[in-house]
Amino acid sequence: MSQLVPPHGSPSLKLLLLQGAQCKEELKRAEKLKRVPMTTRETSDLIMMGIGAFTPLDGFMGHDDWKGCCDDFKMPSKKGLFWPIPITLSADQATADGVSVGSEVALLDTETDAVMGTMKVTEKYSIDKKHECQKIFATTDEAHPGVQKVMEQGPVNLAGPVKVLSESYYPEMFDIYQRPAESRKAFEERGWSTVAALQLRNPMHGSHAYLAWVAIEVCDGVYIHQLVGKLKAGDIPAEVRVKAIEALVNKYFRRERVIQGGYPMEMRYAGPREALLHAVFRQNYGCSHLIVGRDHAGVGDYYGPFDAQKIFNEIPSDALRLRPLAMDWTFYCYECGTMASMKTCPHESKAVIDDNGNYKGGARLLLSGTLLRKLMSEGKPVPSEFSKPEVIAILKEYYDSLEEKVEVKLHGAATGEAAKKK
C-alpha cells in the first residue's frame, strides 16, 4: 500500500495554475491589467506555485511572512508553518507607484514577454534587503549570486494571492519536466511510500550513482530530480544528461527503482537555507527523503561543507515530514574494492590515474572533472570506477557533436559552403 508523505502543511496540493477555458478567460482579462515585470527568479517561483510545488502558498508573501521566514523560518499568515526562504515579488518604484493596494495586476515574464499570471495586490512594502541577505545567505557580499539578485531587485515588494496562467516553455522543452501531482502518481503506481530525491545537475558519474544506490537501499525508490532551465556556458543540456542517466540506470540498477523528473525553480545558492527549501518542495513532489551531500546548493566558500546537513538538526522536529539523507563525499576506493565515502572508507591515500587513464596505485579515486574532460577529449579510456562506459559514450557523442558544429561554423565562415549544407 503506497502511503506517500502529505504535501507541506496541507492535506492536498495547492494548485494555482488555471486550466483550459478558465485560463484563457483570465489571460484575456489580464490584457487590461497593469503589468508588473518579474525577474527570472520570480517567474520560476510563480511556476512553482502554479504546479503546487510551493504548497501551501497562495501567492507572493507579505511583510509579516517575509520577516517570519527570514527571522524564524515561519509564516505568521499560515499559523506559523515552517518556510525557510521568503517567496516575494519586487517592483521598481515607478511600477509600484502605479499599483494600488486592492487592484489586480498582470505578472510579466521579462524573458519571453508573456503574461504568466495575475495577482490581487494586498500589500506594498519595502524590506531591509541586507537583513534578508544576512539571514538567508549568511552574507551580504554582492559577489554571491543570490545576494546579487536580491540587491538588484526593485525597492518595493508587492504581495497577494496569484493565479498562474502559464508554465512557460518547460512542458514543451523538457520531456522530464514534471508536476508534483505527476510524480506522486508515478510513485503511487509503483507502490512506493518512501522516496529519496536526488538533486542532480550533471550526468551521473560514479559518485552520484552511489548516492542513488544507497538511497534505494533504504527507501522504496529514488527520484532523480533535475533542475531544468537555461544553460550556463559549459553546461550539458538536459536531454543529454537524461539519456546518460537512463543508460546507467538501465544497465547497473533495477530500472523500476528509479524515476527521473525535472523542476523549474531557479537556484539561489543559499546553501543550508536552500537545502530546506529543496526539502519543502520535494515533500510536495511526494518524496520522504532528500539526499543532502557536501555543500548542497552552495557556491564558492560561503558555507561549510556540512552546513546544509546540520541545519536539519536545528529546525523543529515537526517542521517537515521529509527527512534528510545526509551523505559525505563519495568515491571509488581501490582498497575497499567498492564505492565508499569519507564515513565508511578507512583508507586515506588518493588513487593515482595517469594521463592515459591507467590506475597507478593508491586507494580513493576522487572524481576530477578536469581529468575526465582531458581523457575524453583525447579519446583515452576513462576508468569505469570513475564513470561507466555507457555514460562516457553518450557524453563523448555530445562533445563530438559540439566540435562538429564548431568546425562547421569555422569552415562555413571561411568558405561559405559548409554552413549552407547544414
Under DSSP, the state recorded for 256 is G
Taking the complex as a whole, how short is the minimal distance between the CB of residue 353 and a second copy, in angstroms? 18
Count other Cβ atoms within 10 Å, centred on residue 103. Answer: 13
Q: Which of 35, 202, 321, 373 is catalytic?
A: 202
Asked if 251 interacts with a second copy (CB under 8 A), we say: yes
Round to whole Å and give the CA distance between 34 and 91.
Answer: 12
Count other Cβ atoms within 10 Å, centred on residue 195. Answer: 28
Nearer to a second copy (CB atom), residue 40 or residue 194: 194
Write out the E strands in 228-288: 258-263
Burial of 314 (C-beta count, 10 Å sphere; 0-12/13-18/19+): exposed
Count other Cβ atoms within 10 Å, centred on residue 384. Answer: 13
Question: What residues from 295 to 354 belong to the interface with a second copy (CB under 8 A)?
Answer: 310, 313, 317-318, 321, 323, 325-328, 336-339, 341, 343-346
Nearer to a second copy (CB atom), residue 176 or residue 214: 214
Name residue, grid cell 522543452: 173
Binding-site size for a second copy (CB under 8 A) equals 35
Asked if 11 interacts with a second copy (CB under 8 A), we say: no
**Which listed range, 93-101, 112-120, 140-148, 214-222, lies at the site for a second copy (CB under 8 A)?**
214-222
Asked if 252 interacts with a second copy (CB under 8 A), we say: yes
Taking the complex as a whole, how short is the minimal distance between the CB of residue 213 and a second copy, in angstroms? 6
Q: Which of 95, 148, 194, 202 binds a second copy (CB under 8 A)?
A: 194
Round to whole Å and give the CA distance between 366 and 159.
Answer: 47
Decide if 202 is catalytic: yes
Q: Which of 14, 41, 257, 296 binds a second copy (CB under 8 A)?
A: 257
Nearer to a second copy (CB atom), residue 159 or residue 339: 339
Nearer to a second copy (CB atom), residue 310 or residue 373: 310
**Which listed range, 57-65, 249-257, 273-281, 401-409, lies at the site for a second copy (CB under 8 A)?**
249-257
Taking the complex as a whole, how short is the minimal distance between the CB of residue 252 and a second copy, in angstroms? 7
Asked if 190 interacts with a second copy (CB under 8 A), we say: no
Q: Which of 35, 41, 157, 201 is catalytic?
A: 201
CB of 127 within 8 A of CB of 66?
yes
Give residue 111's identity as a one-letter amino acid code.
Answer: E
Rg, Å, the chain Cα set: 23
Round to whole Å and give the CA distance between 234 and 350.
Answer: 28
Q: Which of 63, 123, 139, 253 binds a second copy (CB under 8 A)?
A: 253
In 57-195, which residue ranges form alpha helices assigned H by DSSP?
A: 63-72, 93-97, 129-137, 145-152, 170-173, 180-189
Residues of 104-139 as b/e, b for ≥16 C-beta within 10 angstroms? bbbbbbeeeeebbbbbebebbbebebeebbebbbbb
Nearer to a second copy (CB atom), residue 321 or residue 373: 321
Nearer to a second copy (CB atom), residue 16 or residue 245: 245
Point out the residues that are catalytic.
Answer: 201-202
Residues that bind a second copy (CB under 8 A): 1, 3, 193-194, 213-214, 216-219, 251-255, 257, 310, 313, 317-318, 321, 323, 325-328, 336-339, 341, 343-346
